[in-house]
Amino acid sequence: MISKKMLTAINEQIKNELYSAYLYLSMAAWAVDNDFEGMANWFRVQQQEETFHAMKFYDYIVEQGGRVKLLQIDEPPHDFKSPVKVFEDTLAHEKKVTAMIHALMNQAIAEKDHATQILLQWYVSEQVEEEASATQILKRIRLAGDNPGALFMLDQQLGQRTFTPPASAEA
Ligand SMILES: [Fe+2]
Ligand SMILES: [Fe+2]
Protein backbone atom coordinates (compact mmCIF):
# COMPACT_ATOMS: atom_id res chain seq x y z
CA MET A 1 0.00 0.00 0.00
CA ILE A 2 1.21 3.48 -0.79
CA SER A 3 0.82 6.50 1.50
CA LYS A 4 -2.04 8.94 1.14
CA LYS A 5 0.46 11.64 0.22
CA MET A 6 1.98 9.44 -2.51
CA LEU A 7 -1.48 8.54 -3.83
CA THR A 8 -2.33 12.24 -4.12
CA ALA A 9 0.97 12.95 -5.89
CA ILE A 10 0.53 10.10 -8.40
CA ASN A 11 -3.06 11.13 -9.15
CA GLU A 12 -1.71 14.62 -9.82
CA GLN A 13 0.92 13.13 -12.16
CA ILE A 14 -1.77 11.18 -14.07
CA LYS A 15 -3.33 14.58 -14.78
CA ASN A 16 0.07 15.98 -15.82
CA GLU A 17 0.66 13.10 -18.24
CA LEU A 18 -2.82 13.55 -19.71
CA TYR A 19 -2.13 17.26 -20.07
CA SER A 20 1.03 16.30 -22.00
CA ALA A 21 -1.12 14.12 -24.26
CA TYR A 22 -3.50 17.07 -24.74
CA LEU A 23 -0.63 19.47 -25.48
CA TYR A 24 0.88 17.17 -28.12
CA LEU A 25 -2.49 16.57 -29.71
CA SER A 26 -2.86 20.34 -29.97
CA MET A 27 0.60 20.53 -31.56
CA ALA A 28 -0.48 17.79 -34.03
CA ALA A 29 -3.53 19.90 -34.93
CA TRP A 30 -1.30 22.94 -35.48
CA ALA A 31 1.13 20.89 -37.60
CA VAL A 32 -1.51 19.42 -39.92
CA ASP A 33 -3.09 22.86 -40.29
CA ASN A 34 0.32 24.17 -41.45
CA ASP A 35 0.86 21.29 -43.91
CA PHE A 36 3.48 19.48 -41.82
CA GLU A 37 1.79 16.11 -42.04
CA GLY A 38 4.79 14.09 -40.90
CA MET A 39 5.17 16.32 -37.86
CA ALA A 40 1.47 15.91 -37.14
CA ASN A 41 2.02 12.15 -37.16
CA TRP A 42 4.98 12.49 -34.78
CA PHE A 43 2.88 14.48 -32.31
CA ARG A 44 -0.02 12.03 -32.57
CA VAL A 45 2.37 9.21 -31.65
CA GLN A 46 3.73 11.40 -28.85
CA GLN A 47 0.16 11.77 -27.59
CA GLN A 48 -0.17 7.97 -27.49
CA GLU A 49 3.06 7.73 -25.48
CA GLU A 50 1.81 10.26 -22.95
CA THR A 51 -1.50 8.41 -22.59
CA PHE A 52 0.56 5.28 -22.00
CA HIS A 53 2.51 7.10 -19.25
CA ALA A 54 -0.76 8.15 -17.61
CA MET A 55 -2.16 4.60 -17.80
CA LYS A 56 0.99 3.10 -16.31
CA PHE A 57 0.50 5.30 -13.21
CA TYR A 58 -3.24 4.53 -13.26
CA ASP A 59 -2.59 0.77 -13.29
CA TYR A 60 -0.04 1.13 -10.50
CA ILE A 61 -2.56 2.87 -8.22
CA VAL A 62 -5.11 0.12 -8.91
CA GLU A 63 -2.47 -2.54 -8.23
CA GLN A 64 -1.67 -0.88 -4.90
CA GLY A 65 -5.35 -0.91 -3.91
CA GLY A 66 -5.63 2.89 -4.20
CA ARG A 67 -8.32 5.00 -5.80
CA VAL A 68 -7.63 6.73 -9.10
CA LYS A 69 -9.01 10.29 -9.18
CA LEU A 70 -9.11 12.11 -12.49
CA LEU A 71 -8.49 15.83 -12.08
CA GLN A 72 -9.28 18.71 -14.39
CA ILE A 73 -6.99 19.10 -17.40
CA ASP A 74 -6.07 22.62 -18.52
CA GLU A 75 -6.64 23.86 -22.06
CA PRO A 76 -3.37 23.65 -24.02
CA PRO A 77 -2.03 26.45 -26.24
CA HIS A 78 -3.22 26.37 -29.87
CA ASP A 79 -0.65 28.45 -31.76
CA PHE A 80 3.00 27.53 -32.04
CA LYS A 81 4.19 29.96 -34.73
CA SER A 82 6.90 27.81 -36.38
CA PRO A 83 8.39 24.29 -36.51
CA VAL A 84 11.33 25.54 -34.39
CA LYS A 85 8.97 27.02 -31.80
CA VAL A 86 6.82 23.89 -31.56
CA PHE A 87 9.86 21.75 -30.75
CA GLU A 88 11.32 24.38 -28.40
CA ASP A 89 8.02 24.19 -26.52
CA THR A 90 8.16 20.38 -26.61
CA LEU A 91 11.65 20.31 -25.11
CA ALA A 92 10.75 22.90 -22.47
CA HIS A 93 7.66 20.88 -21.55
CA GLU A 94 9.62 17.63 -21.26
CA LYS A 95 12.16 19.34 -18.98
CA LYS A 96 9.29 20.41 -16.73
CA VAL A 97 7.96 16.84 -16.65
CA THR A 98 11.45 15.52 -15.83
CA ALA A 99 11.51 17.83 -12.79
CA MET A 100 8.07 16.50 -11.74
CA ILE A 101 9.26 12.88 -12.01
CA HIS A 102 12.38 13.70 -10.01
CA ALA A 103 10.25 15.36 -7.32
CA LEU A 104 8.09 12.23 -7.13
CA MET A 105 11.24 10.12 -6.83
CA ASN A 106 12.52 12.34 -4.01
CA GLN A 107 9.22 11.85 -2.22
CA ALA A 108 9.35 8.05 -2.67
CA ILE A 109 12.92 8.02 -1.31
CA ALA A 110 11.94 10.20 1.67
CA GLU A 111 9.02 7.86 2.43
CA LYS A 112 11.23 4.75 1.97
CA ASP A 113 8.60 3.63 -0.54
CA HIS A 114 10.62 1.06 -2.50
CA ALA A 115 7.83 -0.10 -4.81
CA THR A 116 7.12 3.42 -6.06
CA GLN A 117 10.85 4.04 -6.51
CA ILE A 118 11.05 1.01 -8.82
CA LEU A 119 8.06 2.28 -10.82
CA LEU A 120 9.58 5.75 -11.05
CA GLN A 121 12.93 4.43 -12.29
CA TRP A 122 11.15 3.58 -15.53
CA TYR A 123 9.92 7.19 -15.84
CA VAL A 124 13.37 8.60 -15.03
CA SER A 125 14.86 6.67 -17.98
CA GLU A 126 11.89 7.51 -20.18
CA GLN A 127 12.42 11.24 -19.54
CA VAL A 128 16.06 10.96 -20.64
CA GLU A 129 14.79 9.56 -23.96
CA GLU A 130 12.01 12.16 -24.24
CA GLU A 131 14.45 15.05 -23.82
CA ALA A 132 16.98 13.44 -26.17
CA SER A 133 14.50 12.94 -29.01
CA ALA A 134 13.05 16.47 -28.70
CA THR A 135 16.61 17.90 -28.66
CA GLN A 136 17.62 15.89 -31.74
CA ILE A 137 14.59 16.99 -33.78
CA LEU A 138 15.04 20.60 -32.69
CA LYS A 139 18.66 20.51 -33.90
CA ARG A 140 17.61 19.11 -37.28
CA ILE A 141 14.86 21.70 -37.70
CA ARG A 142 17.33 24.49 -36.89
CA LEU A 143 19.75 23.04 -39.45
CA ALA A 144 17.00 22.91 -42.07
CA GLY A 145 16.30 26.59 -41.37
CA ASP A 146 14.15 28.13 -44.10
CA ASN A 147 15.16 25.57 -46.73
CA PRO A 148 11.82 24.10 -47.92
CA GLY A 149 13.51 20.98 -49.36
CA ALA A 150 15.27 20.20 -46.09
CA LEU A 151 12.11 20.83 -44.07
CA PHE A 152 10.14 18.57 -46.40
CA MET A 153 12.69 15.76 -45.97
CA LEU A 154 12.56 16.16 -42.20
CA ASP A 155 8.78 16.13 -42.26
CA GLN A 156 8.89 12.87 -44.22
CA GLN A 157 11.14 11.37 -41.53
CA LEU A 158 8.81 12.47 -38.73
CA GLY A 159 6.01 10.79 -40.66
CA GLN A 160 7.72 7.41 -40.20
CA ARG A 161 7.25 7.30 -36.45
CA THR A 162 4.91 4.61 -35.12
CA PHE A 163 3.76 3.85 -31.61
CA THR A 164 5.12 0.71 -30.00
CA PRO A 165 4.23 0.16 -26.37
CA PRO A 166 7.48 -0.14 -24.38
CA ALA A 167 8.58 -3.71 -23.57
CA SER A 168 8.58 -2.91 -19.86
CA ALA A 169 4.82 -2.25 -20.04
CA GLU A 170 4.05 -5.38 -18.02
CA ALA A 171 6.76 -4.74 -15.44
FE1 LIG B 1 5.09 11.53 -20.06
FE1 LIG C 1 6.77 13.14 -22.46
171 domain-assigned: no
Average pLDDT over residues 36-64: 98
Q: What residue numbers bound the domain in which 49 lies?
A: 4-70+80-162
Domain assignment present for residue 91? The answer is yes
Q: How confident is the model at residue 167 (pLDDT cuts 50, 70, 90)?
A: low
User: 167 lies in a domain?
Assistant: no
Q: Is residue 168 part of a domain?
A: no
169 within a domain of the structure (yes/no): no
pLDDT of residue 165: 81
- Which among 28, 79, 35 is positioned nearest to 20, based on CA atoms? 28
In this structure, what CATH number is given to the domain that contains residue 128? Answer: 1.20.1260.10
Instruction: Locate all alpha helices (DSSP H) within 34-160, ordered by sequence.
Output: 37-63, 83-110, 114-144, 148-158
Rounded Cα gap, residues 155 and 87, in angstroms: 13
pLDDT in tens, 124-146: 999 999 999 999 999 999 999 98
| Span from the CA of 17 to the centroid of ligand 2 (angstroms) | 7
User: Among the listed ranges 66-70, 107-111, 142-146, 162-166, which one has the minimum average pLDDT value?
Assistant: 162-166
Closest listed ligand to the CA of 129: 2
Number of domain units in the chain: 1
**33 domain-assigned:** yes
Residues with CB under 5 A from ligand 1 (ion): 17, 50, 53
Report CA(67)–ligand 2 centroid distance (Å).
Answer: 24
Nearest to residue 170, comparing CAs of 45, 59, 21?
59
Q: Which ligand is nearest to the CA of 100?
A: 1
Considering every ligand atom, which ligand is closest to the CA of 104?
Answer: 1
Q: What tens digit of pLDDT does each residue of 83-105 get?
A: 999 999 999 999 999 999 999 99
